[in-house]
Structure 1
């Protein structure tokens, strides 16, 4: 059945040496849509210059991309491997211009740099220019790094979760008129640990996976009981460690450690039950890694 949803245009900005990474981000966004779009009433629409920009005369190529994609984007994901890209009239590269233009407009902008070994045939002038740009950009905020396209896709899905809160989007349970209610929302959280493999390359692995439940409502949720259930085609869900039934006051959260491997892109159902006075409530939400 059809459902109403907010559509967010997510621009994937990067030089031409990041095809695998761009594909990984696109797949991550489609994976989020499959697991979460209907529940959150949000659809993520990947936008890429090579597939979504329409050829048009009048102005530079970058100005056309700015008009058709950059200025219409709601979120920007920028990626760099070993190249900064070609300079434009307004910035050191087209991707740099897209980052600066979007940041100046107040949009969420996430920038990631590869930590994989530099290719033997890399343009060293481009590598140096990229490192200089990275150093300058670090003064504007926190930059991300990725060890592989798969690692990047995982990080992008986590970034999107934060953007939904920032933009005030996502479905919430309906409240009876005139009454304050607790609104519980679940999310997956984890820490990424850096290490070096046998060849000395920097890699990342997931550790300390947790399920976090936040009360975004106006009333306290008492004796919160949480369980996880499998979804069709998603395999065995993780297990919660611990049997706590906490009270979660408004604008606070509680987390439970997760046990059991959870592959990239896997989703599961979180069933949350709680009490408000003599009334008992329940909410089910789909959560993905």
Structure 2
């Protein structure tokens, strides 16, 4: 169902020699949205001149770009390699003007410089301009160098996650959606159930549970679904019991209703485990150590949540439990190692 959300516009500023890095920033933004937008009611919107600027006359080109997308941006990612860009009429380049304009207006600016080998055909003056600008910006704040696109992806993913946590805490943005955990009829919760073992991997049951909070009313119509990151399932290609179609990439959904319990009502004061799924704890670390999962994918999964959504007599309830908390309750470490990550 539709619900209100806050939108942060994220401007991607760069010359034309870092196309791969520009796409990586978009990918990291989309990854953050997939992992966090539903639970925070916050959406990050990437903005790029090549997609978001429309034809307009009457001013210098960069000023038109400024008015259309730069000034409205809340966050800016700036990336340089061996080109500073084309002079804008005000600054050394359009990219530099966008960065300076954002810094002057106290916007959030992430700045990165590639250390990859420059082409033999590079423009020496352009490279010198980049080195000069990097030196000047290092006197005004913190900018990061990166050796290759793989490390750049890890940097952007981590920096974005860290800063968004800070912004959400500062703004008081709710980590809950508009649906409450309980109403005058019932409460939904995510519970950690029985611990077991499947080969070398420790497993636990995660349960979506409904509790009847009334003293005299039987709940006859109910349903509950668990939304679980696919990376937590030991067998990614297996269709699990109670699984239904998911509309979100990387999320598997499991659902039961009163029909699965022969229409048995939930009696006053009783709790009923509606749906459960077995997840693995430790296989992520095993994959990480053997190079089968990227660091940013590991981080996104470990920093995510398992969500239980329930309907009780037509009313929506929602609860979530952080994955790190689930691992902790089950005796998993939730550790993040940096060894042998696949490049």
Which bracket does the TM-score occupy, shorter chain normalised? 0.5 to 0.7
Return the alpha-carbon distance in structure 2 between the equivalents of residues 31 and 238 of structure 1.
22
Contact 2:232/2:280 (<8 A) preserved: no
Q: Is the alpha carbon distance of 1:286 and 1:69 closer, same or farther for their aligned partners in structure 2, counting shifts above 3 Å?
A: farther
How does 1:66-77 map onto structure 2 within 5 Å?
66-77=66-77
Number of residue pairs matched by the alignment: 212
Residue number in structure 1 paired with 2:229: 231
Going by fraction, where is helix more abundant, 1 or 2?
2
2:124 is aligned with 1:121: no
Contact 1:10/1:74 (<8 A) preserved: yes
Matching residue within 314, 321, 325 for 1:284: 321
Return the alpha-carbon distance in structure 2 between the equivalents of residues 238 and 16 of structure 1.
44
Return the alpha-carbon distance in structure 2 between the equivalents of residues 30 and 106 of structure 1.
25
Return the alpha-carbon distance in structure 2 between the equivalents of residues 119 and 113 of structure 1.
15
2:80 is aligned with 1:80: yes
Shift of 1:2: 3.1
2:297 is aligned with 1:265: yes
* SS in structure 2 at match of 1:50: helix
Return the alpha-carbon distance in structure 1 between the equivalents of residues 323 and 14 of structure 2.
31
Residue number in structure 2 paired with 1:139: 139
What are the superposed Cα offsets for residues 260-281 of structure 1, whole Å, 9 maximum, x if unpaired? 514233543457xxxxxxxxxx
Return the alpha-carbon distance in structure 2 between the equivalents of residues 86 and 9 of structure 1.
24
Return the alpha-carbon distance in structure 2 between the equivalents of residues 62 and 137 of structure 1.
21
Return the alpha-carbon distance in structure 2 between the equivalents of residues 27 and 51 of structure 1.
15
Contact 2:62/2:94 (<8 A) preserved: yes
* SS in structure 1 at match of 2:160: helix
Structure 2: gaps of 5 or more residues: 183-226, 235-278, 307-318, 325-335, 337-343
How does 1:93-104 map onto structure 2 within 5 Å?
93-104=93-104
* SS in structure 1 at match of 2:132: helix
Residue number in structure 1 paired with 2:267: none
Q: Is the alpha carbon distance of 1:2 and 1:259 closer, same or farther for their aligned partners in structure 2, counting shifts above 3 Å?
A: farther
2:57 is aligned with 1:20: no
Shift of 1:233: 5.4
How does 1:1-12 map onto structure 2 within 5 Å?
1-12=1-12
How does 1:214-253 map onto structure 2 within 5 Å?
231-232=229-230
Shift of 1:4: 2.5
Shift of 1:32: 1.4
What are the superposed Cα offsets for residues 216-268 of structure 1, whole Å, 9 maximum, x if unpaired? xxxxxxxxxxxxx961256658957xxxxxxxxxxxxxxxxx66514233543
Return the alpha-carbon distance in structure 2 between the equivalents of residues 144 and 129 of structure 1.
17
Return the alpha-carbon distance in structure 1 between the equivalents of residues 91 and 53 of structure 2.
20
Name which one, 1 or 2, has greater alpha-carbon Rg: 2
Contact 1:70/1:98 (<8 A) preserved: yes
TM-score (norm 1): 0.64
Contact 1:28/1:154 (<8 A) preserved: no
Contact 2:18/2:80 (<8 A) preserved: yes
* SS in structure 1 at match of 2:175: coil
Q: Is the alpha carbon distance of 1:41 and 1:82 closer, same or farther for their aligned partners in structure 2, counting shifts above 3 Å?
A: same
Shift of 1:19: 0.9
Structure 1: gaps of 5 or more residues: 177-228, 241-257, 272-281
RMSD, matched Cα:
3.1
Shift of 1:71: 0.2
